[in-house]
Amino acid sequence: MISVQGLYKQFGDIEVLKGIDITVEKGKVVVIIGPSGSGKTTFLRCLNVLETPTKGKISIANRQLDFSKPVTKREIHEFRRLTGMVFQSYNLFPHMTALENVMEGPVTVKREKKEHAREKAMELLAKVGLRDKAHHYPFQLSGGQQQRVGIARALAMEPEVMLFDEPTSALDPELVGEVLKVMKSLANEGMTMIVVTHEMRFAKEVADEVIFMDGGVIVERGTPDQLLVAPQNERTKRFLQLIR
Ligand code: ADP
């Protein structure tokens, strides 16, 4: 489903990604962990082409972008639709209800009929446990509820892959569980997911593979048991000790 080869990203003089290679099979869940500043967010933003990589190739669902050649805006636009992104801050439109937030992409970007988009959005809100909040505005919702609307909004575009960038780290502790539960059920339904998170329990229970990034490279990867319980690399060991 996803294949990344030799991905580099430079901001000015700073090389933030220094040759990332990964493949992710359809339906698998990959959790990325690593210290602050190691390039995790930049990597997700490259997959979503919110950042343009300096070089490298990204394939998602049989479509490829090769950044050693010029890439057109149209190609980027089409490629971006393959992934749905959920951010740390939910970024909902404040003047729109939950339902309108979820309908927005399908109606304006995909030009779906409003009725159809509304029906689908209601189904998605039900899926994230928010059918009864459809007509609430973001300010009337808790952080956990807003984040679940954020997930429904990303799903409304019917992406091949879901990318989550620390989706629970802005939440009060008691609201984290409800968001992780929605993510877990998505994983169980077979969604291909890449998740940057510090939630080690989620990684243990849901990830097929855990990747440890540091200094813009993948230092170590493995099953949750391999990487979280018996890490081989000294940097991985040190990081895990620090967060425990
Ligand atoms: P992480 O998600 O692992 O905390 P990031 O991908 O956010 O790491 O950041 C990696 C490095 O890239 C940091 O040193 C950060 O300051 C730098 N960086 C990220 N975005 C930009 C940008 N737009 N311009 C310049 N430097 C950036």
CA-CA-CA-CA dihedral for 45, 78, 126, 2, to nearest 10: -60
Q: What is the CA angle 120-184-214, rounded to 5?
A: 115
Note the pTM of the prediction, 2 decimals: 0.96
What does the alpha-carbon distance between residue 42 and residue 57 come to, in Å, rounded to a whole number?
15
How far apart are the CA of 35 and the centre of ligand 1, in A?
12
Chain-centroid distance, C-alpha 75: 20
Predicted confidence at residue 173, as pLDDT, reads 92
How far apart are the CA of 37 and the centre of ligand 1, in A?
6
CATH number at residue 87: 3.40.50.300
Predicted confidence at residue 91, as pLDDT, reads 87
Predicted confidence at residue 243, as pLDDT, reads 85
How far apart are the CA of 39 and the centre of ligand 1, in A?
6
CB 36 less than 6 A from any atom of ligand 1? yes
Chain-centroid distance, C-alpha 157: 14
- Domain, as residue range, for 88: 2-243
- In angstroms, how far apart are the furthest CA atoms of the chain? 55
What does the alpha-carbon distance between residue 78 and residue 157 come to, in Å, rounded to a whole number?
12
CB 197 less than 6 A from any atom of ligand 1? no
Chain-centroid distance, C-alpha 144: 16
What does the alpha-carbon distance between residue 142 and residue 138 come to, in Å, rounded to a whole number?
8
* Positive or negative torsion for Cα 29, 19, 42, 210: positive
| Smallest CA separation from ligand 1 atom 1, residue | 37
pLDDT tens-place string over residues 147-181? 999 999 999 999 999 999 999 999 999 999 999 99
| Smallest CA separation from ligand 1 atom 22, residue | 11
What does the alpha-carbon distance between residue 48 and residue 42 come to, in Å, rounded to a whole number?
10
ipTM associated with this complex: 0.97
CB 11 less than 6 A from any atom of ligand 1? yes
How far apart are the CA of 11 and the centre of ligand 1, in A?
8
CB 40 less than 6 A from any atom of ligand 1? yes
| Smallest CA separation from ligand 1 atom 12, residue | 16
CB 38 less than 6 A from any atom of ligand 1? yes
| Smallest CA separation from ligand 1 atom 24, residue | 11
How far apart are the CA of 210 and the centre of ligand 1, in A?
21
Predicted confidence at residue 143, as pLDDT, reads 95
Number of domains in the chain: 1
Name the average pLDDT for the chain.
Answer: 96
CB 241 less than 6 A from any atom of ligand 1? no
What does the alpha-carbon distance between residue 243 and residue 111 come to, in Å, rounded to a whole number?
45
What does the alpha-carbon distance between residue 109 and residue 102 come to, in Å, rounded to a whole number?
12
Predicted confidence at residue 152, as pLDDT, reads 98
| Smallest CA separation from ligand 1 atom 13, residue | 37
Residues in the chain where the model's pLDDT stays below 70: none
pLDDT tens-place string over residues 30-44? 999 999 999 999 999
Question: Phi then psi for 32, rounded to 5 degrees?
Answer: -110, 125
